[in-house]
Amino acid sequence: MRSTTTLACAGAALVAVLGLFATTAGSPPVATAAAQPVPPPLSEQPAMMVGSGECLTCHEQAHDDWTSSRHSKMVQPAVPGQVLGDFTQENLTLRGEEYRIRRVGPKYFITEAFFTGESVEHEVDYTLGNRRIQHYLTTLEDGRVIVLPPTWDVLRREWFHNLEIAAPDQAEGIVPVQLWNKNCFGCHVSDQMKGFRPGENRYDTTWLDFGTTCERCHGPGSRHVDKYMNLDFYGDDPESYIVQQTRLDHATNSMVCAQCHSFRDQMAFGFAAGDNYFDHFFPILEYTQEPSEDPTWYPDGKTRRFSTNTLGIWQSECFVEGGATCTGCHIDPHRPDIEKNEQLLPTNNDLCTGCHEAIGADLTAHTFHPAQSEGSSCVECHMPRSVTSIRAKMRDHSISIPSPRNTARYGVPNACTECHTAESPEWAGDRMDEWWGETPRRRKIERRADAYTGARELSREALNLLLAMSADEGEGPINRANAAGHLGRYLADPAAREPATRALLAASRDSHPLVRAVASLKLGETGNTESAEIRDTLVARVQDERRSVRMNAAISLLNLGIRTLPGEAESSFELAKRLHAIRGNFFADDAPQQLNLGRLHVLDGNPAAAGRAFEQSYNLNSNQPGIRFFMAVTRLSQQRIPEARELLRSVPAEDPFAQEAQNLLRQIEP
């Protein structure tokens, strides 16, 4: 060892001497630049958001088109030119409440006593919307960005109260408030971070760009910019490193729009254009709908509330059978304002007859209406304005056919009597029978309404319809998934449990991830802990290629009392559980989500994590159903028995865990 070291030292000395001789024997040395590290190939570099300003450098026309569109103006700073409301009116009375509004130079102010009972003046920080409605947002000291009650109707040029739009969140059980940076902000700005601090119950929300920007639809642009700013270096790389929506297959194309235009739950984060929607989102479908005066879905499964257009088109036969895409009609997404796009006028049938050529060749033979009338407009009949928007009606994107029978039975609007307002649904049904007869497509729509409505009454007729629908590829993924979801209602019925379970097992192998995800979730409600087939099916699904399926399968396994799996499936199971925990961290400001996360940890045998989630949920809203019972269980695990007793005594009789609370209280009473 010593000889090796000696040789190494001698070698180093020799090199030093030779180097010195070389520099002194000849001309003065020339300094050479240090070799620059070669960056990795673009395909190996992380894709990052760069902001719309970078896109402007090369794509000026597209940027100008986008800047003039409503997508760019979803949320903007409240400055002159962006604020559309009439702030000269000074005093407003909305829903019996008094408000004062004013403008001072470039700033706008709204005074309200709605939230606390005390008059408070807020500076308006941001505007939200500009097409029909404009809301006004302010930032509170704790970082919450709230929607102030006075809202401006752009078309009618009048003020109204924002609670007229939809039921808002509850601000910790105090007053109704719309909290923008809790749920809404994800589609109004880009590259956003919620920044909620659970320990302090405050927000530090940030974002890169106002509005729905270039990279929301094209994906992160850093590699694209790097390539075209360094063509000498990367010029032989054939990739553009940017997503072109029109080059995607029809399903992935529509997913770009679905990231915002769908009623959905967030399962995981980081969605980028070109990704699979079902790795990040889980649609909230008709089968989950509770009774409501303002439902999201019609009884036949068509969308009733706005901003769910993708869930409409995913039901359409144009999509399911014809491969229609969003950009097939909305050809230039940089200009989404349909009122300004002549191609989308209801008098232009070309978009439809481009595929339906035979109908276009003899239009009146199909419509039985004069050629230039509304009755011969494709969209007036097949995309009626039946979707409820903000003080307006929007077109139904399921592109279906009218069903007067569903109007008569279930109150679902149909295009015929929406136009012929003096006529009855029966009259419209007679005309359709006279002209086209009883068509399979109309019967399919009627069957859905019968099935979904009957399922809520556990009717046998509905069960048979649902069993057929869940296996019918022609129904499309949305309605197969709804059928699977409704079949879960029958699992508590001994006479229906077996066929419902068989159908759910089959649906868990469906070709579409949405159907597999719903079926996997419902299999956990069977309560059948002895069935090897159910267990093996869920083990397969927890290793599914789509994240939403894996996460739902994990919930079902835990519901069936299964905490570990053998072999390679265990790593997939653990990953799915970690994904739920990560999701829970994002929703640390949501009391019901924290309650559900705590229950998941209980099922997984992790009382410490469960206790943290229950604590956070209780801190956010101590009055929500179930939370006092679970907090009492947490206190018991911490040996804080007097506090547990007080919590159990405070559980109201109408709470779903009231009986469990009383049973536990009897066990721990002194």
What tens digit of pLDDT does each residue of 265-305 get?
999 999 999 999 999 999 999 999 999 988 999 999 999 99
Q: With bands split at pLDDT 50, 70 and 90, how would you rate the model's confidence at 518?
A: very high
The pLDDT value given to residue 176: 73
Percentage of the chain modeled with pLDDT above 90: 84
For residue 481, give the nearest of 291, 297, 273 by alpha carbon: 297
Return d(Cα 310, Cα 258) in angstroms, integer: 5
The DSSP secondary-structure symbol of 469 reads H
The pLDDT value given to residue 650: 97
Contact of 165 with 173, CB cutoff 8 Å: no
Q: Give the 3-state secondary structure of 428-467.
A: HHHHHHHHHCCCHHHHHHHHHHHHHHHHCCCCHHHHHHHH
Report whether pLDDT(499) > 70.
yes
For residue 614, give the nearest of 249, 138, 622, 300 by alpha carbon: 622
Which three-class secondary structure state does DSSP give residue 59?
Answer: coil
The pLDDT value given to residue 185: 87
The pLDDT value given to residue 112: 95
| 303-348 per-position pLDDT tens digit | 999 889 999 999 999 999 999 999 999 998 898 888 778 889 999 9
Report whether pLDDT(165) > 90.
no
| 46-95 per-position pLDDT tens digit | 999 999 999 999 999 999 999 988 899 999 999 999 999 999 999 999 99
For residue 337, give the nearest of 137, 150, 67, 23 by alpha carbon: 67
Q: With bands split at pLDDT 50, 70 and 90, how would you rate the model's confidence at 17?
A: very low
Report whether pLDDT(123) > 90.
yes
The pLDDT value given to residue 164: 81
| 184-225 per-position pLDDT tens digit | 888 999 999 999 999 899 999 999 999 999 999 999 999 999
> What is the helix, strand, coil percentage profile of the chain, to 5?
50, 10, 40
Residue found by looking up tokens 């469960």 in the block: 610
Report whether pLDDT(167) > 90.
no
The DSSP secondary-structure symbol of 495 reads H
Contact of 179 with 586, CB cutoff 8 Å: no
Q: With bands split at pLDDT 50, 70 and 90, how would you rate the model's confidence at 171?
A: very low
Backbone angles phi, psi at 213, to 5 degrees: -105, 180
Residue found by looking up tokens 């063509």 in the block: 231
Token pair for residue 642? Answer: 């007097």
What single letter denotes the amino acid at residue 616?
A: Q
For residue 454, give the nearest of 442, 441, 467, 471 by alpha carbon: 467
> Helix axis angle, 440-455 relative to 460-470, nearest 10°?
120
Contact of 175 with 144, CB cutoff 8 Å: no
Report whether pLDDT(138) > 90.
yes
Mean pLDDT of the chain: 91
Which three-class secondary structure state does DSSP give residue 25?
Answer: helix
| 377-388 per-position pLDDT tens digit | 999 999 999 999
Other C-beta atoms lying within 10 Å of the C-beta of residue 576:
23
* Helices assigned H by DSSP within 279-354: 309-313, 317-320, 326-329, 350-353
Return d(Cα 261, Cα 624) in angstroms, integer: 29
The pLDDT value given to residue 32: 53
Mean pLDDT for 600-612 is 95
Return d(Cα 111, Cα 22) in angstroms, integer: 82
| Strand pairing report for 145-147 and 133-139 | antiparallel
Token pair for residue 273? Answer: 């254009």
| Strand pairing report for 91-94 and 97-104 | antiparallel
The DSSP secondary-structure symbol of 44 reads G
Q: Give the 3-state secondary structure of 131-176.
A: CCEEEEEEECCCCCEEECCEEEECCCCEEEEHHHCCCCEECCCCCE
| 521-540 per-position pLDDT tens digit | 999 999 999 999 999 999 99
Return d(Cα 37, Cα 269) in angstroms, integer: 33
Return d(Cα 214, Cα 221) in angstroms, integer: 9
Between 168 and 664, the more confident residue is 664
Strand pairing partners for 93?
98
Buried b (16+ CB within 10 A) or exposed e, 5-27: eeeeeeeeeeeeeeeeeeeeeee
For residue 92, give the nearest of 166, 152, 137 by alpha carbon: 152
Buried b (16+ CB within 10 A) or exposed e, 374-394: ebbbbbbbbbbbbbbebeeeb
